[in-house]
């Protein structure tokens, strides 16, 4: 049996959205299990992760810009010597009906959720193709499969991420690169901060409607993401792994 505490020894990962609940949990978990991590976020708070572990270096930038994706991969290669894992986790959401949504609203969601995932996957694929190995995990949502009113842009982006990931899996297979989606349900994070008065409580209450009867904690989703990224999942690619408390099983 493998030693999970050293499972990612010698591996180098990029984690986007690392200032948030899930991204921070993933960055810490990977570092705890031996990985070197480039933790990226548009928020300067991501720099706090460097105090958590000397295995973590941080990058602040807008992930929807090509230069940020290039900088992230370059930092991994130059600082740590390789790139083995990419976790596209950064996400943004708004609640607005399609009829009331401006083009700027639409672009703001698609830029973070989809454009950023494309750009980082593209740059990572280049490095991983040269190395002939790699694992990409894109964080989707149960909105890959189900829809709710007022999340048109978010649902469109998450659905597109599922399809993009399948293409990455097909294009990467001959180069030893796997690509999978982890699709969570409600998680108690700050993603709704500034959108609803008490975002964490909103998510906790909405999570009660899942068969499991509660929302997830970030660390629970981080475990699923880590499994999809690791060698124990070596035969899994192009998969959409639901981690939604059974919500889409109903």
CATH number of the domain where residue 235 is located: 3.40.50.720
Phi/psi zone of residue 170: left (φ > 0), alpha (ψ -120 to 50 degrees), beta? Answer: alpha
Residue 214 lies in a domain: yes
Task: Output the average pLDDT for the chain.
Answer: 96
Residue 250 lies in a domain: no
Total number of domains constituting the chain: 1
Reading across the β-sheet that carries 240-243, which strands appear in turn? Answer: 56-60, 36-41, 12-16, 85-88, 134-139, 177-184, 240-243
Residue 249 lies in a domain: no
Residue 221 lies in a domain: yes
Q: Which domain holds residue 13?
A: 4-244
| Contact between 183 and 165 (Cβ < 8 Å) | no
Confidence of residue 2 (pLDDT cuts 50, 70, 90): low
Residue 70 lies in a domain: yes
Residue 240 lies in a domain: yes
Q: Would you please indicate which residues are annotated as catalytic (active-site) residues?
A: 154
Residue 1 has pLDDT above 50, yes or no: no
Residue 3 has pLDDT above 80, yes or no: no
Q: What is the pTM of this model?
A: 0.96
State the average pLDDT over residues 104-119: 98
CA distance 142 to 244: 7
- Per-residue pLDDT tens for 190-249? 999 989 999 999 999 999 999 999 999 999 999 999 999 999 999 999 999 999 999 999
């Amino acid at each position: 049996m493998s030693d999970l505490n050293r499972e990612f020894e010698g591996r180098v990962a990029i984690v986007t959205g690392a200032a948030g609940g899930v991204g921070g949990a993933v960055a810490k978990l990977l570092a705890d299990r031996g990985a070197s991590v480039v933790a990226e976020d548009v928020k300067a708070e991501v720099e706090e992760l460097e105090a958590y572990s000397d295995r973590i270096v941080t990058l602040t930038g807008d992930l929807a810009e090509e230069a940020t994706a290039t900088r992230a991969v370059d930092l991994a290669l130059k600082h740590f010597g390789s790139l083995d894992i990419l976790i596209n986790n950064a996400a943004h959401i708004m609640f607005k009906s399609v009829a009331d949504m401006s083009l700027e609203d639409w672009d703001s969601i698609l830029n973070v959720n989809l454009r950023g995932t494309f750009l980082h996957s593209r740059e990572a694929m280049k490095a991983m193709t040269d190395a002939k190995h790699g694992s990409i995990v894109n964080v989707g949502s149960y909105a890959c499969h189900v829809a709710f009113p007022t999340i048109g842009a978010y649902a469109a982006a998450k659905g597109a991420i599922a399809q993009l990931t399948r293409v990455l899996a097909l294009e990467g297979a001959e180069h030893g690169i796997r690509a999978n989606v982890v699709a969570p349900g409600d998680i108690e994070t700050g993603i709704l901060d500034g959108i609803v008065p008490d975002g964490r409580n909103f998510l906790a209450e909405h999570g009660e409607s899942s068969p499991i009867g509660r929302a997830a904690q970030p660390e629970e989703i981080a475990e699923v993401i880590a499994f999809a990224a690791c060698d124990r999942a070596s035969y899994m690619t192009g998969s959409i792994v639901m981690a939604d408390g059974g919500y889409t099983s109903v």
